[in-house]
Structure 1
């Protein structure tokens, strides 16, 4: 049942609309970080500091902080409408880059139209957090409508030009879709003004919310409704503080200076909304203490300084809370519980109230002490923080499980996508995709690059045995993990090749496996460790020189082998014979991987420098049932005896296959009959077991 719930939540989260909104918010995190910290310093609750920034050098520091905030958070909605549109357009059937950019422009136009544009009700403040909901709506609706008109309008019903510039002609072709989409938003704005008597969509929602409070008396009911609506609005991307400003001024602010009044604006800020809406300080603590995800912990560390001063946009938009089906529950529940705890402490007489306003940026515990004039205020806040953290913690864990499930399923889809293209022999581009799989591919490539640079690769070693059941060596195989999940090795290789660090990946594999070879040799057993390289790498002087230097460093001469794969033809790689000779002189063996009767394989054998060949897995797996396979394998083994190289068989999975190979003269085996790829520690144990 629990697994089904997780999958349902996963399906909700990968919905193209919700996913695009979340990615759009994520894209703005750098701007939000800059803006949040600019606001923090500009509103730092120390009078001496405020005096300093306002007067130092004529107030230039205060101006700089204001510019930073206004240029980032102050234009947040216009940035958001374009970022969401960018990601949503990438999910459309037609992924033309021109249409994707035009959709962003159209969405920005429709966002302005939603406020009546400059001649209507639009104000500069609407471009900031105030207009977030309208930005989300405009980005999704305008992008979808624009693509609809692009698909439905016939080619004949488009502007045409004799100009030769392709971009110019494309721009003209978008005139009608842009016009029709914009006119629909104009009609919506006029409808809201005519029927609902509101200036715009934002005001329509705000007016509806204000009406909810008309029949609510002052006191706990007003406080509960205010906190509930405030956090619910934030969960949908609407700036709750701005939307409820009229409610706050009417019902809450007047009580700030009334002695004995419990529910006031200052009371809610200090005890129900610590760290900002959603009692975000509890979420930060839950993430820092209980999050398993490195990204979540890093986000919490980045947001913590601002949240400590009740500025939580980084968390709300960065995690994000907006349209998050899991985190929205504790985001609304925690402030309500906090309010009830504080209200109970106040009416019971434990929490004294001075009726004094405390600056909204005053940190937790300090605000509790200042508003009550007693340690009891800080104590009540401590209890609230403890309870709130307890509420958030299970949801943090569930959220991460959903993220893990999402990553697993996306990784499976990415793997299947790669396999399909490889089987069809088609070229594949993973990093250029603009959907969820493309984002995952780029994240995986980025993490793989980090692990390569830090030499932090997970390796497996598949043992190789001779006909006397003695371990002769092992093949080093990449067993990289992403988010604690094993990655299909060809996928990791494809990502490294496409991102341009495949040589670095191979060098890291070779160095790691040479270290392992050195450890095994220290046990007193003459085993040989091998690793895969491509023909292009074997044709590179720089690569070969580096391998030789590493072999000298780790002392593995005579016990290390490079297996050359058949990915590319070697006709134009004249340096390969010379480099194989150089490697052989340095004590590094060379083998041909997946040897068959192909032209490339036979081309290798013109030079008597190879130590071994490994039979193609397809030949070995079908050797029992297919007589032709038996004849081919027997011919290769005979060829090996005549040309003086060793023949090894991989994919030896049954005793019947091993016996048949042995009868043909093949005496080196690798496969599941003996062992899958194992960690180095387990390989050492297997080696010592055979030795004993």
Structure 2
């Protein structure tokens, strides 16, 4: 069966190795950002600034920025080896041994980086951007091989030592697979060094690539091949500009000087293809003309994560430092962006060549630093505004080339995200049904990634009050509406309504629950005033607050201050605490509940059953309302035991003086059965689902 392009892309996207590489590249973003800023401050192309930088305190700032750059980009391949191996390890084995494989990968990387070279300086040179491709290959290969060997080890024993039993045992068990992988890589590297005439695997790749250009001369064809190969290398995580630096110098390095010589002789400059020409007019924003990609994302992408990354990358990319975009979006190993990443610089090369060849734009005669921002670089290189206009034209053309692929990438991310969202919700609901706790944000699969992404968006939603409150009406036995329960709703722009218990779970894991519940409380109070003004009548509202929040003194302080600043009629707002949330029944809690009463709020227990814990909550007469557990209500007209339990609760209500409300009243039969045993307050689909505030106000007017 033939696969179309979309199916091929999907298979690549779903591949464990590809996802691990991408995650590893993303994990290195802090290193990239720090290094990019250091490089900008070090090479900012302003003459007076550079003079000041060199003169200030004997160049101490220049040394500072150089040190930071060398410690980040100078060891970028080393860091990438670690992050990619860690990412792949999390997929392979999530519960333990998170160190064995990454350490093994680092040892293997050191081996292939030129450990047989005599000069340490040459080895260190291979730790930076030059060895990105070998770093990716060795981290993936060594990690896969490590777990392949480990899973097939027959001699599995446990060793113990005082104070570190598990750690010691796991570490000893990692020795055999680690030694096997390191030995294998060492032998292969030795073979390469002995029989290829190269000092290292990295040097072998550089030598092979440079061979492509060994018989080429200065021409449009050589410039075209250089741009194509450089972009292709970048796509696979190889710093193409550095790998082909020798080619660049030999073919195009002397062009500017020849143009200057011709001008001094009174002749017109004729050498079009120079390093400055490529930097200024072709590789706008870096390889792949990535400034065009940045513009396309900012103008056409609807994905907030893409736009956030683009906003973060704007500053360094204005100075043609594009690593943050290449490895952060990422562009590297992204099949959807492969075609425009290759085509855009080629289109820019053709456009620029025609413009200069026809005399529309002057030939570049001034050597311009590659970090010079767009428009300024075009003007400085040619001494004409036409150079800046040519840059603008190429920027527009490149942005239009990227546009359909950026929109396709948006759609692909949405489809993948929806698939991950379904998996996350299914996993959480399974946890709910089985009553087996799970920490969603610590999972290292696609569902866990989705949970972490949702946490970030939830934090933004809370900060901007982008969530909604829906209200489910509550009725008495006469059919009269007596109030409503306020229910949180989060409508995600992509996934629609998020399952409310999942929202609470994510907020709890991210330690956002108290902040979220404070925001909910504020919104419900505003809505209560709106409801009462519209209907000229005071209706009661119930708002859910978790047990952990109600027991936090900070929330009580918030409640105290909020009540002072707002006129809340006593007995109109009821705070519900879910019975399944454990309350620490001590004197401090009783004092807290008493203070809540004194502030004028009612208290309710949600999902009340007849367990021992439930009864304890009623002993001190702190709760005003009990909401029956849904399982009891659903079986009230079919299960005699459920009916008897509810009858017992009604007896307690009469004896202890609290009200009872039944949720999940979905048909008239349940309402009648409840009424017969004395339960006279109801909430459920028999009357109405939860509805937005505007609909609830209209509902009240009708009832």
Specify the SS of the correspondent of 2:126: helix
Is 1:677 aligned to residue 675 of structure 2?
Answer: no
- Taking only aligned residues, the RMSD between alpha carbons, in angstroms, comes to 3.1
Q: Is the 8 A contact 1:89 1:95 kept in 2?
A: no
Cα distance 1:161–1:422, how it changes in 2: closer, same or farther (>3 A)? closer
1:590 to 595, 598, 603: 603
CA distance in 1, matches of 2:59, 2:556: 62
Is 1:269 aligned to residue 286 of structure 2?
Answer: no
**Which residue does 1:558 correspond to in 2?**
571
Shift of 1:230: 0.7
Cα distance 1:5–1:633, how it changes in 2: closer, same or farther (>3 A)? farther
Is 1:104 aligned to residue 102 of structure 2?
Answer: yes
Cα distance 1:448–1:356, how it changes in 2: closer, same or farther (>3 A)? closer
Specify the SS of the correspondent of 2:136: helix
Specify the SS of the correspondent of 2:440: coil
Cα deviation code 1:517-560 (max 9, x no counterpart):
22222222221111223456556666456435534533332211
Q: Is the 8 A contact 1:365 1:382 kept in 2?
A: yes
Cα distance 1:539–1:186, how it changes in 2: closer, same or farther (>3 A)? closer
Is 1:687 aligned to residue 700 of structure 2?
Answer: yes
**Range with greater deviation from structure 2 (214-223 or 54-63):** 214-223
Shift of 1:195: 4.7
Q: Is the 8 A contact 1:6 1:402 kept in 2?
A: no
**Which residue does 1:345 correspond to in 2?**
355
Q: Is the 8 A contact 2:82 2:105 kept in 1?
A: yes
CA distance in 1, matches of 2:530, 2:100: 59
Shift of 1:277: 0.6
**Which residue does 1:621 correspond to in 2?**
634
CA distance in 1, matches of 2:654, 2:603: 17
Is 1:493 aligned to residue 504 of structure 2?
Answer: yes
- Aligned counterparts, 1:278-289, within 5 A: 278-289=288-299
**Which residue does 1:247 correspond to in 2?**
247
- Aligned counterparts, 1:534-573, within 5 A: 534-535=546-547, 543-544=555-556, 546-556=558-568, 557-568=570-581, 572-573=585-586
Cα distance 1:453–1:301, how it changes in 2: closer, same or farther (>3 A)? closer
**Range with greater deviation from structure 2 (574-583 or 135-144):** 574-583
Shift of 1:309: 2.1
CA distance in 1, matches of 2:276, 2:404: 30
Specify the SS of the correspondent of 2:690: coil
**Which residue does 1:437 correspond to in 2?**
447
Cα distance 1:163–1:631, how it changes in 2: closer, same or farther (>3 A)? closer
**Range with greater deviation from structure 2 (472-481 or 192-201):** 192-201
Is 1:333 aligned to residue 343 of structure 2?
Answer: yes
Specify the SS of the correspondent of 1:203: helix
Specify the SS of the correspondent of 1:37: helix
Cα deviation code 1:100-135 (max 9, x no counterpart):
212221111100111231536852221111111111
Is 1:525 aligned to residue 537 of structure 2?
Answer: yes
CA distance in 2, matches of 1:638, 1:176: 69
- Aligned counterparts, 1:393-404, within 5 A: 393-404=403-414
Shift of 1:661: 4.0
CA distance in 1, matches of 2:71, 2:10: 35
2:394 to 376, 384, 395: 384
1:314 to 317, 320, 324: 324
- Aligned counterparts, 1:142-161, within 5 A: 142-155=142-155
Q: Is the 8 A contact 2:114 2:123 kept in 1?
A: no
Q: Is the 8 A contact 2:113 2:131 kept in 1?
A: no
CA distance in 2, matches of 1:627, 1:354: 92
CA distance in 1, matches of 2:8, 2:664: 40
Q: Is the 8 A contact 2:42 2:65 kept in 1?
A: yes
**Which residue does 1:474 correspond to in 2?**
484
CA distance in 1, matches of 2:170, 2:631: 50
CA distance in 1, matches of 2:393, 2:277: 16
Specify the SS of the correspondent of 1:91: helix
**Which residue does 2:134 correspond to in 1?**
134
Give unmatched runs, 5+ long, in structure 2. Answer: 260-268
Cα deviation code 1:235-268 (max 9, x no counterpart):
1000101221232233322434353233333222
Shift of 1:142: 1.3
Specify the SS of the correspondent of 1:90: helix
**Which residue does 1:114 correspond to in 2?**
112
CA distance in 2, matches of 1:456, 1:551: 24
Shift of 1:427: 2.9
Cα distance 1:475–1:407, how it changes in 2: closer, same or farther (>3 A)? same
Q: Is the 8 A contact 1:224 1:339 kept in 2?
A: yes
1:417 to 415, 427, 442: 427
Specify the SS of the correspondent of 1:100: coil
**Range with greater deviation from structure 2 (560-569 or 74-83):** 560-569
Shift of 1:338: 1.1
**Which residue does 1:85 correspond to in 2?**
85
**Range with greater deviation from structure 2 (269-278 or 358-367):** 358-367
CA distance in 2, matches of 1:540, 1:254: 71
Q: Is the 8 A contact 1:272 1:279 kept in 2?
A: yes
Is 1:54 aligned to residue 54 of structure 2?
Answer: yes
Shift of 1:487: 2.9
Cα distance 1:514–1:395, how it changes in 2: closer, same or farther (>3 A)? same
CA distance in 1, matches of 2:164, 2:27: 32
Shift of 1:177: 2.1
Q: Is the 8 A contact 2:156 2:173 kept in 1?
A: no
**Which residue does 2:472 correspond to in 1?**
462
**Which residue does 1:125 correspond to in 2?**
125
Shift of 1:361: 2.2
Aligned residues: 684
Specify the SS of the correspondent of 2:565: helix
Q: Is the 8 A contact 1:279 1:331 kept in 2?
A: yes
CA distance in 2, matches of 1:663, 1:7: 60
Q: Is the 8 A contact 1:518 1:555 kept in 2?
A: no
**Which residue does 1:63 correspond to in 2?**
63
Q: Is the 8 A contact 2:94 2:444 kept in 1?
A: no
CA distance in 2, matches of 1:136, 1:325: 17
CA distance in 2, matches of 1:409, 1:92: 21
Shift of 1:11: 4.9
Cα distance 1:658–1:130, how it changes in 2: closer, same or farther (>3 A)? same
**Range with greater deviation from structure 2 (583-592 or 662-671):** 662-671
Shift of 1:92: 1.2
**Which residue does 2:519 correspond to in 1?**
508
Shift of 1:385: 0.9
